[in-house]
Amino acid sequence: MLLETVKLTKYFGGLAAVSDVDINVEEGEMVGIIGPNGAGKTTLFNLITGFLRPTKGRVEFGEKDIVGQKPHVIARMGIGRTFQLNPLFADFTVFQNVAASFYLHPKSSLLAAFFNLPTYHRNEAYVSVEALKILELLGLNKVKDELAKNLPQGYQKMLGIARALATNPKLLLLDEPLGGMSVGEIEFTMEIIKKIRDSGVTILLVEHNMQIMDIVDRVFVINFGRKIATGTIEELRENREVIAAYFGVEQDAASS
Amino acid sequence: MIYLATVVILAFLPIFVKSPYTYHILILTFVYITATSSLRTLAISGQVSMGHAAFMSIGAYTSAVLARYVGWSPWLTMPLGALATMLVAVLVGFPFSRVRTIYFSMVSLFFGIGILSINSIFGKYTGHINGMIGIPPLFIGSRIPYYFFFLALMVVCLIVLWRFETCRIGVCLKAIDQSREVAASIGISETKFRVLAMGVSCFVVGLVGAGYAHYNMVISYSSFNLSASINMLVYMLIGGIVSFAGPIIGTAVLFMIPEIFRQLKEYTPFLFAGILILVVFVMPQGVVGLFDQIRSLVNKKE
């Protein structure tokens, strides 16, 4: 098991944003988390990546409990993530955004960087080559010298994925990767996400757009901070609780 | 290129200029260019220090006290003063790096006031409000060696700060400024880089403060109080916060202005305030930005 949460719970004051959530992700899988607005999906991501500290429960990554670790330490362990809002460094160019993300696993020390030593040069050269590869893969090479803040939203989302990918993660958490994208962009992004999975990165994603569910292996459904169902998308289509959460309870069906 | 030309001109200046007063002003300009540039090292990660003059005073007083009362050579005590400043900066850097923007400005402001109070506790050595006198000089006699010393010190410090800002460390600091969350998600430790920036910035300002003490041979609180800190801030803002040249040009310009209007000395703060307001409205990018604006105008015409 690559990632496992055990009875993960987070209270904000008296409100349980996430309560007793058990999810697990196998290596190489692509797993989706769905649920209505405010169900606690982003909170769950923040708990896993250390941006929030759980009230109780465990998060195990590669059989190791990572609760209480700082976000940058968790990032170094190999969990990359994107953000729903504000997903990038606004005043950096697209290229700089991706290049900066390579600093997670630098091949030279900060001292070498300061003194401009050969190891630093080699690392910088390596970074530019690799960054361009990622930009090409995600179709961002045309805009690589634009400031990130000037990009349309779909491109910004894509850049968020590029940044996370540049950290070379074992597990990639995507927070609404299709949010704010046009129909054409959605198809392209789904292709990209499949490619990333096929390259051996495990993916856990949150999404409203049900199109994405066609390409995930398994789904967890969350509502009011609780896990209400799990399974493949076909299994969930039959699940009444899920239907109720998404479409409301049918009065006739409920009374009959 | 422009930097190199300026340094060469300044290096050959003593052939032409003989007035000791001019040297005095130039030396002070060098001191404050260095100090203001060190402020920028924090500013690139979004932290605006309002107590930098107090850090300068740590270097100055440490070096002055060691040289005068212990009797060590100023050449030894100056680096020690810088190291002491850095040590204090790193120690306070851990809690300080947890606060950002205006809150950082406030804690650095109170830190500055606190440091001056500590100075007054040791008033027996630091000379209370009258200032500390009898600090051993670096050179005897002429101002020319001082001129070269501070020119060299400024050049070395600026090169160090420039490297710091343009290499990976600076990129990480700028990344933290733009988004702490995204920076953390790519493994940048906010605390580590902020403390590092504090250390380097304060080492430089402590070193130049120590040099200043041995040049002036008298130091008092008034050189390091809140208005001294704010002056440095104003130099940086007027020069332009967006580029490395900003603090350098801002300090140079604002050091020359009071000298030109020397008869109106007591009105200098008003003059500064007026310039600051003008800058904010007319050239939001500072004097450096003005150059860019002119350049784009010229390009448009062509």
Question: Does the beta-carbon distance from B163 to A116 stay under 8 Å?
Answer: yes
**pLDDT at A256 (0 to 100):** 41
Question: Would an 8 Å CB–CB cutoff place A91 in contact with chain B?
Answer: yes
Residue B80 has pLDDT above 70, yes or no: yes
Nearest chain B Cα distance for residue A141, angstroms: 21
Rg (CA), chain B: 19
Question: Does the beta-carbon distance from B178 to A90 stay under 8 Å?
Answer: yes
Q: Work out the number of other CB atoms within 10 angstroms of the CB of residue B73.
A: 11
Residue range B169-189: mean pLDDT, rounded = 90
Question: Does the beta-carbon distance from B179 to A90 stay under 8 Å?
Answer: yes
8-state DSSP, A171: E
Q: Is B203 within 8 Å of B83 (Cβ atoms)?
A: yes
Residue B285 has pLDDT above 80, yes or no: no
Question: Would an 8 Å CB–CB cutoff place A227 in contact with chain B?
Answer: no
Distance between CA atoms of A94 and A87, rounded to whole angstroms? Answer: 12
Distance between CA atoms of B235 and B35, rounded to whole angstroms? Answer: 10
Q: Could you state, in order of their start, the residue ranges of all structural domains in chain B?
A: 19-226
Between A254 and A228, the more confident residue is A228
**pLDDT at A234 (0 to 100):** 77
Question: Does the beta-carbon distance from A96 to B172 stay under 8 Å?
Answer: no
Q: What ipTM does the predicted assembly reach? A: 0.84
Distance between CA atoms of A44 and A51, rounded to whole angstroms? Answer: 10
Question: Would an 8 Å CB–CB cutoff place B161 in contact with chain A?
Answer: no
pLDDT in tens, B95-147: 988 888 888 889 999 998 888 888 777 777 777 777 788 888 888 878 888 88
Distance between CA atoms of A80 and A75, rounded to whole angstroms? Answer: 6
At A248, the amino acid letter reads: G
CATH fold of the domain at A3-255: Rossmann fold (3.40.50)
Question: Does the beta-carbon distance from B181 to A71 stay under 8 Å?
Answer: yes
Question: Would an 8 Å CB–CB cutoff place B197 in contact with chain A?
Answer: no
Search chain B and give the residue with CA nearest A74. B187
Which tokens belong to A185? 């962009």
User: Which residues of chain A make contact with B181, given a CB cutoff of 8 A?
Assistant: 51, 71, 83, 86
At B252, the amino acid letter reads: A
pLDDT in tens, B31-64: 999 999 999 999 888 888 888 999 999 999 999 9
**pLDDT at A238 (0 to 100):** 76
Distance between CA atoms of B36 and B201, rounded to whole angstroms? Answer: 10
Dihedral angle, C-alpha A36, A42, A44, A49, nearest 10 °: 160
Order the strands of the A56-61 sheet from edge to edge: A15-25, A3-12, A56-61, A64-65
Nearest chain A Cα distance for residue B194, angstroms: 14
Rg (CA), chain A: 19
Three-class secondary structure of residue A201 per DSSP: coil
Q: Which of A91, A113, A164 sits opposite B169 (nearest CB)?
A: A113
Q: Is B138 within 8 Å of B75 (Cβ atoms)?
A: yes
**pLDDT at A254 (0 to 100):** 45
Q: What DSSP line would sit under chain B, residue for residue?
A: -HHHHHHHHHHHGGGT---HHHHHHHHHHHHHHHHHHHHHHHHTTT---S-HHHHHHHHHHHHHHIIIII---HHHHHHHHHHHHHHHHHHHHHHHTTS-HHHHHHHHHHHHHHHHHHHHHTHHHHTGGG-B--PPPSSSS-SHHHHHHHHHHHHHHHHHHHHHHHSHHHHHHHHHHH-HHHHHHTT--HHHHHHHHHHHHHHHHHHHHHHHHHHHS-B-GGGTSHHHHHHHHHHHHHH-SSSTHHHHHHHHHHHHHHHHTGGGGGGHHHHHHHHHHHHHHH-TTHHHHHHHHHHHHHHHH-
User: Which residues of chain B make contact with A100, given a CB cutoff of 8 A?
Assistant: 171-172, 175, 186
Q: Could you state, in order of their start, the residue ranges of all structural domains in chain A?
A: 3-255
Search chain B and give the residue with CA nearest A93. B175
Q: Is B176 within 8 Å of B46 (Cβ atoms)?
A: yes
Residue B182 has pLDDT above 60, yes or no: yes
Q: Which residues are registered as beta bridge partners of A93?
A: A147
Which tokens belong to A176? 């609404």
Which tokens belong to A246? 């998404």
Distance between CA atoms of A178 and A157, rounded to whole angstroms? Answer: 8
Q: Is the sign of the CA dihedral A81, A86, A89, A95 positive or negative?
A: positive
**pLDDT at B302 (0 to 100):** 52
Question: Would an 8 Å CB–CB cutoff place B301 in contact with chain A?
Answer: no
User: Which residues of chain B make contact with A80, given a CB cutoff of 8 A?
Assistant: 185-186
Distance between CA atoms of B147 and B157, rounded to whole angstroms? Answer: 15
Burial of A169 (0-12, 13-18, 19+ CB in 10 A): buried
Best B168, B181, B204 residue to mutate vs chain A (most A CBs within 10 Å)? B168
Burial of B38 (0-12, 13-18, 19+ CB in 10 A): buried
Which tokens belong to B103? 């809150």
Which tokens belong to B202? 């304060």
Distances in Å between the Cα of B245 and the Cα atoms of A17, A231, B2, B173 are 49, 59, 11, 18
Question: Does the beta-carbon distance from B175 to A72 stay under 8 Å?
Answer: no
Question: Does the beta-carbon distance from A75 to B185 stay under 8 Å?
Answer: yes
Question: Does the beta-carbon distance from B169 to A81 stay under 8 Å?
Answer: no
Between B149 and B261, the more confident residue is B149
Segment holding A44, helix H or strand E: helix A41-48
> H helices within A138-238, ranges in order?
153-166, 183-198, 233-237
Search chain A and give the residue with CA nearest B160. A114
Residue A64 has pLDDT above 60, yes or no: yes
Residues 6+ apart with CB under 8 A from B270: none
**pLDDT at B168 (0 to 100):** 87
Distance between CA atoms of A131 and A256, rounded to whole angstroms? Answer: 59
Dihedral angle, C-alpha A34, A36, A42, A45, nearest 10 °: -30
Residue range A45-69: mean pLDDT, rounded = 90
Mean pLDDT of chain B: 85
Search chain A and give the residue with CA nearest B169. A110
Distance between CA atoms of A123 and B233, rounded to whole angstroms? Answer: 36
Confidence of residue A250 (pLDDT cuts 50, 70, 90): low
pLDDT in tens, A104-113: 777 777 888 8
- Output the furthest CA–CA distance in chain A (Å, rounded): 77
Q: Which of B163, B182, B188 sits opposite A87 (nearest CB)?
A: B182
User: Which residues of chain A make contact with B179, given a CB cutoff of 8 A?
Assistant: 86, 88-90
Q: What DSSP line would sit under B221-277, residue for residue?
A: GGGTSHHHHHHHHHHHHHH-SSSTHHHHHHHHHHHHHHHHTGGGGGGHHHHHHHHHH
Q: Is the sign of the CA dihedral B199, B205, B208, B210 positive or negative?
A: negative
- Residues 171-190 in B contacting A (C-alpha not used; CB under 8 Å): 171-172, 174-175, 178-179, 181-190
Distance between CA atoms of B125 and B134, rounded to whole angstroms? Answer: 11
Q: Which of B110, B55, B53 is nearest to B236 (CA)?
A: B53
